Amino acid sequence: MFENLWNESDASAFVLSHSKNKINADVALRVYSSRLIGSEKNLVMHGGGNTSCKTIVQDVFGKDTRVLCVKGSGWDLGAIEAAGMPAVRLDPLLDLRGLEVLSDEDMVNVQRSNLMDQNSPNPSVETLLHAFLPHNVIDHTHATPFLSLANLPNAEAIMQEIFGSKLVSVPYVMPGFELAKVAAEIAEQNPEAHGLLLLKHGYFTWGENAKQSYDRLIDHTNLVESWFSSQRRNVPCVSLNHSNLEKQRVCHKLRKALIQVSDEPSPSFVFDWVDDERLISQIDGLILSGITDRGVATPDHVIRIKAKPLVLSRSMQSGGEKEILKALEIFVNDYTEYFNTWSAVSVSPKKMLNPLPKVVWLEGMGLIGIGGSMSEAKTITDLAIQNVHVISDGEAAGGFYPVKDKDLFDLEYWALEQAKLGKASPPPLQGKVAIITGAGGAIGSAIVKIFEKSGAEVIAVDMNAEAISSRGFLSRTVQKKVDLTNIGQISKLMEEILQQFGGVDILVSNAGSAPEGSLIEMDEECLRRSFEVNFFAHFRLAQAVGKIFIAQGNAGQMLFNISKQAVNPGKNFGAYGLPKSTLMFLVKQLALEFGEYGVRVNGVNADRIKSGILNESVIARRARARGVDEDNYMRANLLGKEVEADHVAEAFLGLALSVRTTGHVITVDGGNIEASLR
């Protein structure tokens, strides 16, 4: 059931704080209740739904002007602010109702030309419906219970049973001008109604003020939820009997098939896998009943999750790679046929979107959301889970009957819906899963931050958890405390990454330590420890990641921090230089052996970077060993300038983006002829 979260004290405080910015109480309370609605994901999923209020504001001449403040495109109701509810002059919008037809382009132009502030975001695609309904405050949601109701074959009869005349239905019409006119006419014909059930689509309610509309929304949704609770079958939850190894095998085969079928030069596939017992039981029941390609709970979802999932039976999961590849090829062919069929009768030319699936149903194992980033994958997963619940509830109460392919196609390829996905070019590493070791140090943290900025999904690894957490990484960056000299911990790290992301694309093996001392006096154990950290840890990571690359058919890449010590040894630094020179040979050997798989292997030779290894005391000692002062030691290069961690990070990023470079070691030291490689 859904809790009514309205709090009079909080609402009053909201009004007071907004009044200081000259925002009136109508808008302040509209923002307050919108946040309450957005805080419950089963009311609105990832940008779904919209809210509005009609109020009076002053124009530049000080004249009172009637406006509609409606949710703006790109804003999330859960975090919306007044700026996310652009004010549109109401009277010109109402004048549009007298037209017989109105193109989408003209509708958008009228809405934008009547914005009180031209810097505002585009008003919701359903702005006219909010304008035409004769009520002050309006809420539109895609709550899970209402979606289940909206897709029942006898939805109107059930609605009448629950609400009597307090709710009326609207036949399915694609959002836009026509739906706004139809819905407004039905609302006006039923003045006693408190809301609308938009069949196959969602739900509207309203009130004289924000609280009344919100109260109705919660009450109505709870009534529908209560009705479905009485209809649900007691399906026993399955016990989770699949192992992590089985999940890894499925990840490998699925990601490999996606890479093979994709026509993109460097595809990105991030997996979000959900396998709770209830969800598996529902999915298994739907697969057993043959209910796998009916459609989506609301057409709004089709642009993010497509019309149906890729379904992988137990036999496909346990079979060879060809089983999943064949299922994927069939999915792509079906989508292509769907596109060709309906684009042929479209009034305007369409370009086919990526035909690969966004959602995978795995019999006995749950579902996977496939995104170009973890954020997108989680959005897809949330919508996919809601769809499973809606379909399951619908089937238990009479059947799930959403809109058909033609209507789905019209929504999926509707320009106004496509605009929600954004047209900006993605950052260069978006969706690439990158492991960066030594992330708590100066160089490692600089690499993490430049990879974050470039869009990568970063796993920041260090044996010092506090060092990682102190670096101010983005919240989406995953932090892992790992001792890389422990093969068991490396194996666990790989297992966790596969479970969380489905694969890995980039290894930046940066961790290291720099023991000092004369070789002739050095304890052999000290040298062995240095090899463990500065060579074998890199070697073991390369083995683990390389096996994933090969298993998934992924032309990923490995990048290693080598150090100039590999080619230009420093006095009393032999215990550091010996494993580093071996590491440089490893880079070349790995490049040779992985080339046939399309895997790139490169390294960076950096020198004299202030870090945990080269700290103030080490700098002082190295300067004395070189016979110079500390400042000159740090600038002792051809350019006469100190090299910083950010410069090294830029080199790693450059190599990551160099798609035709492998077996290369780039030097970042300001110029040191003795350390130059060629």
Give the domain CATH number at 373: 3.40.225
Per-residue pLDDT tens digits for 13-29: 999 999 998 899 999 99
Per-residue pLDDT tens digits for 449-462: 999 999 999 999 99
DSSP three-state, residue 610: coil
Task: Say whether both 168 and 280 belong to one domain.
Answer: no
Q: Determine phi and psi for 67, rounding to 5 degrees.
A: -135, 160
E strand or H helix at 251, and its extent? helix 244-261
* Domain around 371: 244-421
Per-residue pLDDT tens digits for 4-13: 999 999 999 9
Indicate whether 583 belongs to any domain.
Answer: yes
Indicate whether 236 belongs to any domain.
Answer: no
Indicate whether 60 belongs to any domain.
Answer: yes
- Write the DSSP string, 255-295: HHHHHHH--SSS---EEEEE--HHHHHHHHHHHHTT-SSS-
Task: State residue 678's pLDDT score.
Answer: 63
Task: Say whether both 458 and 544 belong to one domain.
Answer: yes
Task: Say whether both 193 and 251 belong to one domain.
Answer: no
Cα–Cα dist 104/109, whole Å: 9
The domain boundary, picked from 396, 421, 446, lies at 421
Task: Say whether both 664 and 518 belong to one domain.
Answer: yes
**For residue 527, which amino acid is it?**
L
Give the domain CATH number at 454: 3.40.50.720
Task: Say whether both 248 and 222 belong to one domain.
Answer: no
Task: Say whether both 483 and 402 belong to one domain.
Answer: no
The domain boundary, picked from 171, 201, 231, lies at 231
Indicate whether 278 belongs to any domain.
Answer: yes
Task: State residue 416's pLDDT score.
Answer: 79
Domain count, the chain: 3
Task: Say whether both 312 and 386 belong to one domain.
Answer: yes
Q: Kindly give the parts of the chain with pLDDT less than 70.
A: 47, 235-236, 238-240, 419-424, 678
Burial class (CB in 10 A: 0-12, 13-18, 19+), 664: middle
From start to end of 316-452, where are the E strands?
359-362, 366-371, 433-437
Per-residue pLDDT tens digits for 408-455: 999 999 887 776 666 668 899 999 999 999 999 999 999 999 999 999
Task: Say whether both 120 and 171 belong to one domain.
Answer: yes
Residue 30: which of 11, 10, 43 has the closest Cα? Answer: 11
Per-residue pLDDT tens digits for 333-375: 999 999 999 999 988 889 999 999 999 999 999 999 999 999 9
Task: Say whether both 538 and 448 belong to one domain.
Answer: yes
Task: State residue 415's pLDDT score.
Answer: 81
Indicate whether 489 belongs to any domain.
Answer: yes
Task: State residue 176's pLDDT score.
Answer: 92
Task: Say whether both 158 and 287 belong to one domain.
Answer: no
**For residue 171, which amino acid is it?**
P
Both tokens assigned to 68: 């509609």
Task: Say whether both 188 and 271 belong to one domain.
Answer: no
Indicate whether 411 belongs to any domain.
Answer: yes
Task: State residue 50's pLDDT score.
Answer: 94
The domain boundary, picked from 421, 456, 486, lies at 421
Task: State residue 239's pLDDT score.
Answer: 66
Indicate whether 71 belongs to any domain.
Answer: yes
List all residues 6 or more positions away from 569 whose beta carbon is below 8 Å from its beta carbon.
Answer: 577
E strand or H helix at 591, and its extent? helix 574-594
Cα–Cα dist 448/438, whole Å: 10
Cα–Cα dist 640/646, whole Å: 17
Task: Say whether both 226 and 249 belong to one domain.
Answer: no
Both tokens assigned to 630: 């500390």
Indicate whether 139 belongs to any domain.
Answer: yes
DSSP three-state, residue 460: strand
Both tokens assigned to 211: 């609280």
Give the domain CATH number at 89: 3.40.225.10
DSSP three-state, residue 568: coil
Task: State residue 421's pLDDT score.
Answer: 63
How far, in whole angstroms, is CA 578 from its chain's centroid?
Answer: 43
Task: State residue 261's pLDDT score.
Answer: 96
Task: State residue 422's pLDDT score.
Answer: 61
